[in-house]
Amino acid sequence: MSAAIVVADTPYFALTDEHGNFAIESVPAGSYEVDVWHERLGWRRQQLSLIRDALVSLDVVYGIDQVSR
């Protein structure tokens, strides 16, 4: 059994579903740094620009050499 607690100073966060998909609604337009955390693979940070009323996709890729064995 394991547990994780991530404290984020923002109302904009999400957990992924069983397929790794997520949605964060009502984020204001602007430029953001998005932090993504995986319990075995660690953190990834990416830049993201949002335009009002636009749907945005974010792909987070971890390399095969980062997988814990």
**Type of residue found at 62:** Y
The CA-based dihedral angle spanning residues 42, 48, 54, 59, taken in that order and rounded to the nearest 10 degrees: -40
| Phi/psi of residue 64, nearest 5 degrees | -60, -30
Q: Count the domains in the chain.
A: 1
Q: Find the domain containing 54 and state its range.
A: 1-69
On whether the CB atoms of residues 20 and 1 are closer than 8 A, the answer is: no
pLDDT less than 50: residues of the chain: 69
pTM over 0.75: no
> What pLDDT does residue 48 have?
93
Q: What is the distance between the alpha carbons of residues 43 and 22, in angstroms, rounded to a whole number?
A: 17
What pLDDT, on the 0 to 100 scale, is given for residue 8? 86
